[in-house]
Structure 1
Amino acid sequence: MAASDEWTGVVEKKSRAAYDGANLYRQVTVRFDDGTACKVRVPRGLWKEIEAGDRLVKEAGADPRRA
């Protein structure tokens, strides 16, 4: 499942890394409702407010948000 599509799922894990040494990327591993999992980049504000077990919703053309 492509992370840019519409989807709903549950956060399994939060992570962050500075792959290029300059920018901090915030990601969550999401278990989609169809059972697959994927790492999804999220905005800083959302990353700070969610925890493992929270449900996220992604609509076409929008950033993921809490459900």
Structure 2
Amino acid sequence: MANEDAWSGVVVKKSRAMLDGSNLYRRLEVELDGGEKQKVKVPRDLWKQLEVGDRVSKAAGADPVRG
């Protein structure tokens, strides 16, 4: 999904990994309102704020936010 897309959904899984051996990537798996699931990279501060079951949304051209 491109950065220009807008979406909204519920966090179903949180994960983090050092995929390239030097950078820690934080990802959320989000069940979108339409029922499909999507993996989304998010900044550290947002990752720490969210728990499974929390709502997250993203406006077109913006970063994901809680709520």
TM-score, with length taken from structure 2: 0.94
Alignment map for 1:1-67 (pairs within 5 Å): 2=1, 4=3, 5-67=5-67
Unmatched 5+ stretches in structure 1: none
Deviations 1:4-58 (CA, angstroms, capped at 9, x unpaired): 3100000000000001100000000000000000110000000001000000010
Unmatched 5+ stretches in structure 2: none
Aligned identity (percent) is 59
TM-score, with length taken from structure 1: 0.94
Q: How many residues of Structure 1 are paired with residues of Structure 2 in the alignment?
A: 66
- Runs of 4+ more than 4 Å apart: none
> What amino acid does structure 1 have at the position aligned with 2:55?
R
